[in-house]
Amino acid sequence: MLYFHEYPDFSSLSHVLAQRWLDVVVATPAEQACRFALAGGTTPEPMYRQFDALFASAAPRSIQLLATDERWVADSDPQSNEGLFRHCFSQSAAYWQLISLKNAMANPVAAVADINERLEKQFSLPDSPDPLWSAVILGMGTDGHTASLFPDAPHLLVDDHGSYCIAAQHPQTGQERISLSFSCLLNTQRIWLLITGQEKRRVLEQALATGLTHSLLTDVVSPVGTLLAAAHCDVEVFWCP
């Protein structure tokens, strides 16, 4: 099911989503993995800081965090999502583990096999019926991309062969990135999509319509629409103007 939540401003949105996130952590049984894939960028940063304060005061258990995608830059670079997480979650640092999407290789193409092997060792739980993620927090660009799955690279949605991550490239800038794969993002108990502004709302509405009418094996109009249409869990959209 898809649920649309509308808020008057980002402060109200952040408060609700941060509390929802903490509620999931608290409700997760101790014997079950509590793991979250997080969108990067400036939009979710205030919400992350609010969750950090809530989590630090509650400290219910340890959790694992992983970026939905990452630029191939140093953590100290302002564009690094992993660097952003370290800044945002500073108060609760003792209670979370950041699993990196990077290694020391020169580029994502060279690195992706090694990173997939590492993630397979960390996440492979053959006897567990639980999805990989407790929740995936996604953002969306005005072109309909999510994570680093871009509309001009529809093969990334159908040819990931069950991999955890894939090498990607920004279509305009050529910036090298690594992204969680389509199948990996779908392996979750819930999806939270965080967007702001009227333009992105229009893009999402169109993406949902096209995502529901296009086959994964034909033309892919919108990565976010295709991904949400394929979801087997509840999808909640959190939006403010």
**161 pLDDT higher than 50:** yes
Flag the least confident range among 10-14, 45-49, 57-61, 180-184.
57-61
In contact, 166 and 160? CB cutoff 8 Å: yes
pLDDT tier for residue 208 given thresholds of 50, 70 and 90: confident
- Predicted confidence at residue 187, as pLDDT, reads 95
Neighbours of 124 (CB within 10 A): 10
Percent of the chain with pLDDT over 90: 78
CB atoms within 10 A of CB 121: 8
Q: What is the pLDDT of residue 212?
A: 52
Distance CA 67, CA 200 (A): 21
Pair 57, 95: CB distance under 8 Å:
no
Domain count, the chain: 1
- Give the span between the Cα atoms of 165 and 42, in whole angstroms: 22
Structural domain boundaries enclosing 195: 2-240
pLDDT band at 217 (very low <50, low <70, confident <90, very high): very low
pLDDT digits (tens, 9 = 90+) for 106-155: 999 999 999 999 999 998 765 567 899 999 999 999 999 999 999 877 66
Kindly report the CATH number assigned to the domain that includes residue 41.
3.40.50.1360
| Per-residue pLDDT, 151 | 87
Exposed/middle/buried for residue 89 (C-beta within 10 Å: 0-12, 13-18, 19+):
buried
- Decide: pTM greater than 0.95: no
Q: Which of 111, 119, 127 is nearest to 183 (CA)?
A: 119
Predicted confidence at residue 220, as pLDDT, reads 47
Q: Phi and psi of 2, rounded to 5°? A: -110, 130
